[in-house]
Amino acid sequence: MNVESLRRLVPAVIGVLVRRGADFASAEDAVQEALIRALDTWPDDPPRDEKAWLVTVAWRRFVDAVRADGARRGRELVVEGEPHSGPVPAADDSLWLYFLCAHPSLSPAAATALTLRAVGGLTTRQIAAAHLVPETTMAQRISRAKRSLTGVRLDTPGDPATVLRVLYLVFNEGYGGGVDLAAEAIRLTRQLAAAANDPEASGLLALMLLHHARRASREDASGRLVPLSRQDRNRWDTELIAEGVTILQRALARDRLGEYQAQAAIAALHADAPTAAETDWAQIVEWYDELLRLTKSPVVQLNRAVAVGEADGARAGLAALDAVSADLPRYDAARAYLLERVGELKQAADLYAAGADAATSEAERDHLIREAARVRQML
């Protein structure tokens, strides 16, 4: 049994239950129970139609839960006359569910977490890592979101900006390698960009394509992280880069700049440089200025400081970094990089090691440990 294929069926099955009248929280619970049963029974007795099997079992779980709830009045109108089992329409409900999860009753953080869990297929631990919060905190957030939607009919799509944020997080989690959701995020964003009259949707698609184009070069043969400056640019996917740049140019021409377009412009400048040394860092700093104006994000401020260090020298970068909170994730690694460039090797090695201790992934931790060891050898 292919667990990844089973995961991809989840949005469609939830979509069927919601369209039949189930509230989202109950539908997600019923589908999770159906998945548990599938993992238990399919290895010995695989169904001919996996989606239809999941829909049938999940719907029965939902009906049983409604009947056991005691709140029959009104709700039993939904479940009387259970649909016959059989083939299920092949409609793709994934993008529709992303919009429904951006419900007005939920905060953007709650909507994002719930969508990643129920529609994106990520575990609570993976969602917590993406948000840089403890797993217990994220579990509570998801539980509260589901309680907020209990009994709510999701017939009013929510905020498109929340949908874009969710798709961006799904892509980043997939790009990080924990769960390979990058291709799925690109597929859904293509749908959204084609259907929506929104240059930010196109900007997000361009950003994803430009990052995805470098994916093959992000790790070496041993699976170790390779920073952008050391990547083999011959392994970059030039067709994806060309497509991403074309989409970005069309979005920028509409003169409605947003954060995803600005991020894509930075990625495009990296992709356009034949070598790391030929990167147009001055223009990248200008785009970071635009991005900082749009987002006021401390992470953007940190990345801008590193770009300033490349454009105007490491000491200028360190001065820019002084305005950033030292508590920010990856602050130590950024400061270590700039200190190494001005010759403060002892401090740089110590900060690389501190950055490794605070890293949020094994690949990043391993990379920073190796950087600390490399710099110590130079002392």
Residue 207: which of 232, 178, 179, 185 has the closest Cα? 185
Q: Which residues are bridge partners to 225 per DSSP?
A: 219
pLDDT of the residue at 78: 47
The answer to whether 332 touches 352, Cβ cutoff 8 Å, is yes
Identify the burial level of 98 via C-beta atoms within 10 angstroms of its C-beta, where 0-12 means exposed, 13-18 middle and 19 or more buried.
Answer: buried
Q: How far is CA 169 from CA 116, 128, 178, 179, in A?
A: 8, 11, 12, 12
The answer to whether 263 touches 205, Cβ cutoff 8 Å, is no
259 contact partners, CB below 8 Å, separation of at least 6: 200, 291, 294, 295
- What letter does residue 225 receive in the DSSP assignment? B
The SS3 call for residue 219 is strand
From CA 183, how far away is CA 177, in angstroms rounded? 12
pLDDT of the residue at 153: 60
Q: What is the pLDDT along the chain (379 residues), one digit of tens a residue?
A: 666 677 778 888 888 888 888 877 788 889 888 988 988 899 888 899 999 999 999 999 999 888 876 554 454 444 444 444 445 445 556 667 777 777 777 887 788 788 777 777 677 887 887 777 889 999 999 888 888 877 666 555 567 888 898 889 888 876 655 556 788 789 889 988 988 889 999 999 999 999 999 999 999 999 899 999 999 999 999 999 999 999 999 999 999 999 999 999 999 999 999 999 999 999 999 999 999 999 999 999 999 999 999 999 999 999 999 999 999 989 999 999 999 999 999 999 999 999 999 998 888 999 999 999 999 999 8
Q: What is the reported pTM? A: 0.79
Task: Kindly report the backbone phi and psi dihedral angles of residue 168, in degrees, each rounded to the nearest multiple of 5, phi listed first.
Answer: -65, -45
Which residue type is seen at 61?
R
Residue 137: which of 112, 129, 357 has the closest Cα? 129
The answer to whether 338 touches 317, Cβ cutoff 8 Å, is yes
pLDDT of the residue at 1: 60
pLDDT of the residue at 94: 67
pLDDT of the residue at 191: 86
Q: What angle do CA 89, 91, 93 make, to 5 degrees?
A: 125
- What letter does residue 87 receive in the DSSP assignment? -
From CA 288, how far away is CA 270, in angstroms rounded? 13
From CA 156, how far away is CA 166, in angstroms rounded? 18
**First-to-last C-alpha distance (Å) of the chain:** 54
Domain locations along the chain = 1-91, 288-328, 331-379
Q: If you search the block for the tokens 């059989």, which residue do you land on? A: 86
From CA 328, how far away is CA 174, in angstroms rounded? 23
From CA 45, how far away is CA 64, in angstroms rounded? 24
**In degrees to the nearest 10, what's the CA dihedral of 172, 174, 175, 178?**
110
Q: Which residues are bridge partners to 219 per DSSP?
A: 225
**Alpha-helical segments (H) within the chain:** 3-20, 24-41, 50-69, 76-79, 94-101, 108-118, 124-131, 135-149, 160-176, 182-195, 199-212, 238-252, 259-272, 281-295, 298-312, 314-321, 331-341, 345-357, 362-376
pLDDT of the residue at 188: 85
pLDDT of the residue at 158: 65
| 356, two tokens | 């490794």
Which residue type is seen at 270?
H
Residue 183: which of 120, 261, 235, 265 has the closest Cα? 120
